[in-house]
Structure 1
């Protein structure tokens, strides 16, 4: 499978939200929430953006405390954590402020991305620490979750009022699926098979990529026609596994 990053409609909405975040009116309103069901490409998109902008990525843990959060953040910043929480916080602010300033001078976007933010979206102590960091250095912080973050944040108006951008990742469209196949699959795929992948994947990127891998394995062993690997070619073969029951979904015979 080709190792390329594909700009789907979800990615483009995310990029638009980041552009709007940079042009925000109230400087303290620099939180963004990205949510959506698992398997829609959120983590892939955020990790790609982080890698290309030198931003900071953390994955929240269920049992995170504010101190644990500070320790992991300092480790990601390659700084030995001081002993006291006060010094940890001060060092985090210092390091992030420096990197934020450096990125601004280089005209790069910089942010702290916290994935799996559902784990912290009910924890007031951690959220207030996030707000403090964001307020002090006007640092964009992106909270990534699975659909509940915005709802949970309404319990903390001091935090929710600082969310200026909300992006919900939706299921892939047919155009998205065809773009993923065209740009990532090593073999050409016929329109009928691409349409079948869209149908059985239910718009989940994870399943689309699984289908591409199966199509590739088959297509590299044969000589597809001018239209590419078709449903007729793969009739009776497994294309993906059903995410609900784990059963293989087979390509049907084409009448």
Structure 2
């Protein structure tokens, strides 16, 4: 399978929101929330964007404290000898992020701090206030990535929620998204009927779509699909994805 990043409709909405974030009116309103169910491509999208722009990526932990958060951020910023007190850790983080943000602006590229699995911190006022302080002091875009509850949780903290200027919800893939993923990632041609079946059995989850593509490709490379591509008839009786609830394989049905 080709290692190609595909700009699905979710990715396009995310990039549009980032452009709007850069052009925001109130400079302090520089938080963004990216939400959606697991398996829709949020982490893949954010990691790709981080790698492309030299941004900073962290994955929140369930037991994070403000100090643990600062330590992981300093490590990600490659500060080899971090200070001991929380106050000095915070000052060092702000200094390092400000330098990177200024360099990005000089180079005319986007920069942000991305915090994945933000559901773990979306109820923790002390960490959220630390995030808000960092964002306020250097007007740094911070992207909170969660699994559907971050926006709801932030309503408990209006001083934080008021700084969220962009909200992006990742939705299940459409048939156009599935066809695009197949076109860009699969190394064999896939027929229209099989692409539609992939949408049905994947229920629009990117994770399952990619699993189906891998299975189709393995099968297709052993045959000559012809102009139409690999069809449902070709793969009848073959596993295409595992059911995410039972973990049992779903087979391509026989066609009569």
d(CA) in 1 for partners of 2:183, 2:196? 13
Q: CA RMSD in A?
A: 0.4
Unpaired runs of 5+ in structure 1? none
Large movers: runs of 4+ above 3 Å: none
Match of 1:152 in 2: 153
Match of 1:225 in 2: 226
Q: 1:189-200 alignment to 2 at 5 Å?
A: 189-200=190-201
d(CA) in 2 for partners of 1:81, 1:44? 30
For residue 198 of structure 1, report the CA deviation from its aligned partner: 0.5
Residue 52 (str. 1) matches residue 52 (str. 2) = yes
Q: 1:134-213 alignment to 2 at 5 Å?
A: 134-213=135-214
TM-score by length of 2: 0.99
Residue 247 (str. 1) matches residue 225 (str. 2) = no
Instruction: State the SS of the aligned residue for 1:58.
Output: strand
Residue 66 (str. 1) matches residue 66 (str. 2) = yes
Instruction: State the SS of the aligned residue for 1:170.
Output: coil
Unpaired runs of 5+ in structure 2? none
d(CA) in 2 for partners of 1:8, 1:81? 40
d(CA) in 1 for partners of 2:28, 2:150? 19
For residue 208 of structure 1, report the CA deviation from its aligned partner: 0.2
TM-score by length of 1: 1.00
For residue 84 of structure 1, report the CA deviation from its aligned partner: 0.3
Q: Deviations over 1:92-140 (max 9, x none)?
A: 0000000000000000000000000000000000000000000000000
For residue 225 of structure 1, report the CA deviation from its aligned partner: 1.8
Match of 1:235 in 2: 236
Q: Deviations over 1:139-172 (max 9, x none)?
A: 0000000000000000000000000000000000
Instruction: State the SS of the aligned residue for 1:142.
Output: strand
